Structure 1
């Protein structure tokens, strides 16, 4: 009887350890190939994102059909070593033009309605406009336009989509708001 209880206890322990190992492996696979947790570093996406926000990012292997308005994370080591978070403004074949006098951004001759920006676009960074976004590339900008290094900077320019890590789909944990100095947990959720 005691021998049978020991075998059952050993079997229960084995099954528990097996379930734990499988769970850990599943989490590792999901966070390696499906989604990533990436932090926002800086204020270039204010007011949409704050410094220190943590984003769930859908891996570019699964999502690579980027659309205007998508928030993406990319890394181009010739520009910056760390990943950067920006908003897609235009995709391949589209014409981007910026009037730095009025602060207006046009895509294919249409003025963008940008409710998400912090301020109009007055800062030039070296790119010549109008420009056509090349095949397989995107044009990205920060929402805090005059405090963002983005596709207006000739060192970054239009971004080959192979440099995109993925699309941000969820604000998982808020950073500290620069105005209030507090975390706004009400911001957690799907990104617009």
Structure 2
């Protein structure tokens, strides 16, 4: 019986249509493997590039809290450009207690910062025109003014002064180089507010 089956199989000759179908199936398998391989290469390359860019050039951040209203609102997504140099008025992102905070640079290393009882800010004796601030407030503070910004540190304030915990408080203090993430330069979401900051 087994000999007969072997003979039957050896006499089996596929038709041209069956050969075409088999060839098509094999070609589809090859195409699928190629597409899968190419897709994986692209995904891995894009992920590696994103990690590289994020590590060396930019950081994407989601805003939470009210300390920077009206400039930044909760839920907005912003991009911080990695930087170690900041000008007064620029926003910087920094690490604080395993969180990321965004505040506005008011004073650079060596500057004298003063905030009067009405919340008006002066740097090196010149009063700032703070059109970005939603309210002016001296509180909350536990440091004495005028205050000199230590070397390699930045004095920062939130735009919503009455609710912001910032360099006016010794809890946060001035931002050190080790805490820096970078300069907040662009808002990407929501799309109706898309643009540079």
TM-score scaled by structure 2?
0.78
Match of 2:81 in 1: 58
- The number of residues matched between the two structures is 174
Match of 1:76 in 2: 96
CA RMSD of aligned residues (A): 2.3
8 Å CA contact 2:140, 2:165 repeated in 1: no
Match of 1:28 in 2: 51
Structure with larger Rg = 2
Q: Secondary structure at the match of 2:64?
A: coil
Q: In the superposition, relative to structure 1, how do residues 127 and 26 fare at CA in structure 2: closer, same or farther (>3 Å)?
A: same
Match of 1:157 in 2: 173
Match of 2:10 in 1: none
Match of 2:18 in 1: none
8 Å CA contact 2:112, 2:146 repeated in 1: yes
Per-residue CA shift, 1:88-124, capped at 9, x if unaligned? 0010011000102x32100000000111000122324
Q: Where do residues 38-187 of structure 1 align in structure 2 (5 Å cutoff)?
A: 38-59=61-82, 63-77=83-97, 81-100=98-117, 102-174=118-190, 185-187=191-193
Per-residue CA shift, 1:153-192, capped at 9, x if unaligned? 0112222122112111111113xxxxxxxxxx4322111x
Q: Secondary structure at the match of 1:27?
A: helix
Tell me which protein shows more helix as a share of its residues. Answer: 2
Q: Secondary structure at the match of 1:147?
A: coil
Q: 2: distance between equivalents of 1:163 and 1:17?
A: 36
Q: Structure 1: which 5+ runs fail to align?
A: 175-184
TM-score scaled by structure 1?
0.80
Q: 1: distance between equivalents of 2:174 and 2:43?
A: 45
